[in-house]
Structure 1
Amino acid sequence: MNLSTSRRDFVKTAATTLLAPSIITSVNAQPADGIIGHGSHRYKINADWGKLDSSKFPVKNCHEMVMDSKGRLIMVTDETKNNILVYDRSGKLLDSWGHEYPGGHGLTLWNANGEEFLFICDPNSNRVTKTDINGKVIFTIEHPSKVGAYKPEEKFLPTETTVGPNGDIYVADGYGSQWILQYSAKGEFIRKFGGPGDGDDQFATAHGITVDYRNKANPTLLITSRVHNSFKRFTLDGKYLSTIFLPGAFVCRPVIHGDHLFAGVCWSRLRYMNQTNNSGFVTILDKNDKVVSNPGGTKPEYRDGKLQMMVQDAAAVGGILMHCHDVCVDNDENIYICQWNAKQTYPVKLSRV
């Protein structure tokens, strides 16, 4: 997809929306059973799933969650009393650890031939830390100026990592200088690509990254460009391929589960098409990059093959979904939502129906 063409479509959509404000209000009032979503991807909201005693296990922002091989749900928060909370699927707390990540933000699980590791991104401390599954530090990736990739004055505020099929580590500097930095499995710098800007191969808030293995013969990188309301696809060596434009949706990291791509939407465009507080939802795309469901959002609509504006369906979410920062999908296709700036609330579960 050509991003400049997509922007023209976006302007047309925005103009239509401003002339017809009814489409940015609730289009699907919340049914009595509290079910949200569309088509075959519909869910029941359980806002009480992850609640804990906040005096013992507080959270600030529930940033991201992954599921390990034992089915444990591991979540990172920027609360240094317990940066990591480990749940079972019933919402029971199994473990907590971590006090050294004041900006605990990105959390990636890597299964290396049966041994599992975590990568924790902390933009506040300007570093990425690899740990074992219990939090023992293995090594740290620090400011890229140390390997000659940045000038010392360039900002490095990493938000996400992913690991390639050969063990290479990709770091998204989403709150910093907007580069994607590629390292070997040992943390040796290889290259950087992207950078700030509005070009097809550039980023505006490169917030998330993952390897898309759905085409097993040709895995690619999917990288968030949140201000562009987009995911951008690259080769594993950093060459731009295409853009998935998601008008209205400030998407966070892409999460692949089966044939589908899931993402939290931190904000949508409501009043005057601006980024609007407390307007998040979840979006789900099929293997052809088509949006098939927006739990908590308006029903996806395509006109002449072009996706129309997507926004929160406020009546359906009833104030429960505010800023959906990440999703984790379990083996039964239930979704666990981590929220940023959500009154220090715990994760929300969407049970598949």
Structure 2
Amino acid sequence: MADGAALEADLEVVGDGDLRYRLVPDWARLPSGWTLGHSAVAVDRRDRVYLFNRSEHPMIVLDPDGSFVDSWGEGLLTSAHHAHMDEEEHLYLPVLHSHVVVKCTTGGEVLQTFGEWNRPANPDWNGDHRQWMRTPPPRAHGPFCLPTGVAVGPDGSVYVSDGYGNARIHRFTPDGELLASWGRPGTTGPGAFFTPHGIRVDGTGRVLVADRQNDRVQIFSPEGEYLTEWTGFREPCDIAIVDELVYVAEGAGVHRAPGLLQIRTLDGDLVSAWDRRGAGRGAHDVCVDSTGAVYLNALDGNRLLKFVPI
């Protein structure tokens, strides 16, 4: 595991061409004695940063300068994965081992729950989220078994990648009615998933899925029709879409691939690629704020990294 100084030296400046960034050293300032667990990242319109993480304080809120604002979710949000904030500033949070997705206000009020608490849809799950990391689960199921990511489409549809214990994408109405599910376990072919790990919807309604262990991003219509895929990734984990650019966090998988982040156009053309440069495992989560700052969760040390445009 790389220490903080080594990581900062390796990643001080990253990017290519007009997309170059500087790392902000020791950006997140937590209260004394607090630690940051395995984290997801979301930002609101004021660029406050929401860290959904696996610690005693599962939701930690920071100002853009990294100072502490609030925490909530203790005793409820016990198993963090990714996070998504919609246009109305509602947070959607997969609670991994509880097999649900909760919709919350930015102050922690639970507004809606998708799925049933502690009711895994896959009866073969043995209680360990690592059970199907080396091989896909033998068959697909309904919602949910270890859901990983959430995205909200332009029409308000809620999409969930389902995830470690399943191999499906589920689409819901805003009220929580299941509209459709698609996908199957597999390592090749359209619609085959091996750890569908992150999900985002672009402005036209296309659904982009980070198919982590298959090293690709698959793209579907809102109804689940396969459209195309982008290859050339190394364990893609999470996706953010901002200003017609697609940011894909990569490298935080079972094979410890060397990637950290790729930036692509909406057509899939590579704009910039960041390597982790020996600084430990790659990035599990990515978010971009209104200033263009990029936030990454680096698994080694559970560090929240902030890069600002140069």
Q: Decide: shared fold, TM above 0.5.
A: yes
Matches within 5 A, 1:306-345: 312-314=276-278, 319=279, 322-340=281-299, 342-345=300-303
Q: 1:32 to 1:349 in 2, by over 3 A?
A: closer
Match of 2:68 among 83, 93, 102: 93
Query: Residues of 2 paired with 1:151 and 1:157: CA distance?
Result: 9
Q: 1:72 to 1:223 in 2, by over 3 A?
A: same
* Amino acid of the structure 2 residue aligned with 1:241: L
Q: Residue 233 in 1 paired to residue 233 in 2?
A: no
Q: 1:202 to 1:52 in 2, by over 3 A?
A: same
Give CA-to-partner distance per residue, 1:127-164, whole Å, 9 cap, x none: 11111221111121125998xx9565557110111112
User: 1:344 Cα deviation (Å)?
Assistant: 3.7
Match of 2:111 among 114, 138, 141: 138
Query: Residues of 1 paired with 2:9 and 2:106: CA distance?
Result: 41
Matches within 5 A, 1:207-286: 207-213=197-203, 218-247=204-233, 249-267=234-252, 275-276=255-256, 279-286=258-265
Matches within 5 A, 1:287-302: 287-295=266-274, 297=275
* Amino acid of the structure 2 residue aligned with 1:339: A
* Amino acid of the structure 1 residue aligned with 2:155: N
2:135 matched residue in structure 1: none
Q: Could you tell me which runs of 5 or more consecutive residues in structure 1 were left unpaired when the two chains were aligned.
A: 1-29, 269-273, 298-311
Answer whether contact 2:148 2:198 (CA < 8 A) is retained. yes
Give CA-to-partner distance per residue, 1:50-106, whole Å, 9 cap, x none: 142451x322212x1111122211111011x21111111111111111111221112
- Provide the secondary structure at the position in 2 that maps to 1:253: strand
Query: Residues of 2 paired with 1:179 and 1:192: CA distance?
Result: 6
Query: Residues of 2 paired with 1:275 and 1:152: CA distance?
Result: 27
Answer whether contact 2:287 2:294 (CA < 8 A) is retained. yes
Q: Whose relative contact order is higher, 1 or 2, with alpha carbons under 8 Å and at least 6 apart?
A: 1
Normalised by the length of structure 2, the TM-score is 0.83
The size of the alignment, in residue pairs, is 283
Give CA-to-partner distance per residue, 1:183-212, whole Å, 9 cap, x none: 111111111001211221121110011111
**Higher Cα Rg, which structure:** 1
- Provide the secondary structure at the position in 2 that maps to 1:44: strand
Computed over aligned residues only, the root mean square deviation of the Cα atoms, in angstroms, reads 2.6
